[in-house]
Amino acid sequence: MRLVFFGAGYVGLVTGTGLADLGHDVLVVDIDADRVARLEQGEIPIYEPRLSDLVRRNVRGGRLSFATKISAPFDSADAYFLAVGTPPGPDGAADLTAVMRASDTIAQTAKQKALVVVKSTVPVGTCDKVQARVAGAKVPLEVVSNPEFLKEGDAVNDFFKPDRIVLGVPSEEAGEKLRELYAPLQLRGERIVLTDRRSAELVKYASNAMLAMRVSFMNELARLCDATGADIHAVRLGVGSDTRIGKRYLYAGPGYGGSCFPKDVQALAALGRESGVRLTLAEATHAANEEQAKFLCQLVERAIGGLAGKQITLWGLAFKPETDDIRESPAVKLTKHLLEAGAKVVGHDPEAAANYVKAFEGRVSVRERDYDAVEGSHALVLLTEWRSYRAPNFDEIRKRLVGGEGKDAPVLVDARNVWRPQDVTKAGLRYRGVGVPTTTPDAAPRG
């Protein structure tokens, strides 16, 4: 098939490249001329494992190309995919400006009957609006909903081995055409969810909100554990052993971030308000997530006796490993609280450091090497569990941090609960996790 993707972000670039790798001819269109030029030169503007090799291979094979506008032969495409951003407005509702602008372009450009596939995360009823928007086209255009479920950091694998593909279609013909498109992925049975457009649109929001709720609930429980002396690890094991609940997404941490969970939870709550149905769980999920950054800041402040004039090191600036995306990342939220309290912040991240520095416009600094970022700081906070942070040299960290012995020793705040407290205290450091008992090294001098 001949396919056009609007948007060269995570969704458009990964999905378009994946379909090109399955043998289709794909054009990815983006209004950002600089981004398009970089892609044409083989430079990938985002960090996503395995993606750069796939892009270069399919560009070399003539199946993948990039442009700022549609030209022949792609004005006679079989399907046009909307993979543009839907950022939150002031009230949390999704901004559909880019979706509607792309829809207008399709209506003005298409020269043959085609599908308009909405992959952007949009409120219920958006496909109906897009259908009305393209009604004036000279050729028949049928709008379908095909929400994406790509995890940043593992998006390529998610494309080729999806848990499910949701198809919201208004006709049997549209459903069969999409089944044909995805047939090489060899999906069978319930892994293809064929439904109406409005249900498909809601599936995406409901999925992300459900996962975000689990994260926020565990973080609230972790704060309760911190106040009562309980251990969130034991709570997780006890609760997760119930087969009705399961253990996935039950880890306490610094809160969720990224381009999906924060935006989609707020958009779902806004959709509820617009529809006269208050979604109190979605609203509470967002509120609990915002509270977690404040809790982490308080955790650091209590551990070192105030923040004004103190230097704090953050390891992990991206919202999750294997990405350079800092949107709504716990590091960004915590940094704002630390700066407001008068602290100096130094960061390190294998991929996201440049984006982090740019976001704070000179108010923070980063180091190229992880241990160098620790030099002269009063505390180290682990926020993103990159593999390189999982087994550090705690003795080296101890040498670089500022602090004395015993209760005055430097502190490590493990916001991901991945370090073993005994390894930390053995090096003469204090350990603070999220919802786990605190530990202090023996006050006796170390040999």
Over residues 362-373, mean pLDDT = 96
pLDDT(187) > 80: no
Task: Say what the pTM is.
Answer: 0.89
Number of neighbouring beta carbons within 10 Å of residue 380: 27
Q: Where are the beta strands (DSSP E) in 130-252?
A: 141-145, 165-168, 192-195
Output 331 or 405, whichever has higher pLDDT.
331
Kindly state the tokens that stand for 181: 């498109």
Determine the pLDDT at residue 446.
43
In this structure, is the dihedral angle defined by the CA atoms of residues 273, 278, 284 and 285, taken in order, positive or negative? negative
CB 4 within 8 A of CB 40: no
Determine the pLDDT at residue 443.
42
CB 120 within 8 A of CB 11: yes
Determine the pLDDT at residue 188.
67
Burial 93-117 (b: 16+ CB within 10 A, else e): bbebebbbebbebbbebbeeebbbb
Q: What residues does 255 pair with on adjacent strands?
A: none
Q: What is the dihedral of CA 397, 399, 402, 408, to 10 degrees?
A: 90
Determine the pLDDT at residue 438.
87
Nearest to 447 by CA among 422, 423, 427: 427
CATH 3.40.50.720 correct for 2-194: yes
Contacts of 41 (CB under 8 A, 6+ apart): none
Q: Is 127 among the catalytic positions?
A: no
Kindly state the tokens that stand for 290: 């915002």
Instruction: Tell me the pLDDT band of 404, cut-offs 50, 70 and 90.
Output: confident
Nearest to 7 by CA among 259, 326, 234: 259
Instruction: Tell me the pLDDT band of 442, cut-offs 50, 70 and 90.
Output: low
Determine the pLDDT at residue 138.
94
Instruction: Tell me the pLDDT band of 230, cut-offs 50, 70 and 90.
Output: very high
Radius of gyration of the chain (CA): 24
Q: What residues does 94 pair with on adjacent strands?
A: 88
pLDDT(414) > 50: yes
Determine the pLDDT at residue 48.
92
Domain ranges of the chain: 2-194, 196-447
pLDDT(201) > 50: yes
CB 320 within 8 A of CB 287: no
Q: What residues does 411 pair with on adjacent strands?
A: 379, 430
* Catalytic one of 127, 225, 260, 297: 260
Over residues 337-354, mean pLDDT = 97
Establish how many alpha carbons lie within 13 A of residue 80's alpha carbon, considering only the half-sphere containing its beta carbon.
31
Q: What residues does 6 pair with on adjacent strands?
A: 29, 82
Q: What percent of the chain has pLDDT over 70?
A: 98
In this structure, is the dihedral angle defined by the CA atoms of residues 211, 216, 221 and 223, taken in order, positive or negative? positive
Instruction: Tell me the pLDDT band of 255, cut-offs 50, 70 and 90.
Output: very high
Q: Is 2-194's fold the same as 196-447's?
A: yes
Over residues 185-205, mean pLDDT = 88
User: 196-447, which class in CATH?
Assistant: alpha beta
CB 102 within 8 A of CB 82: yes
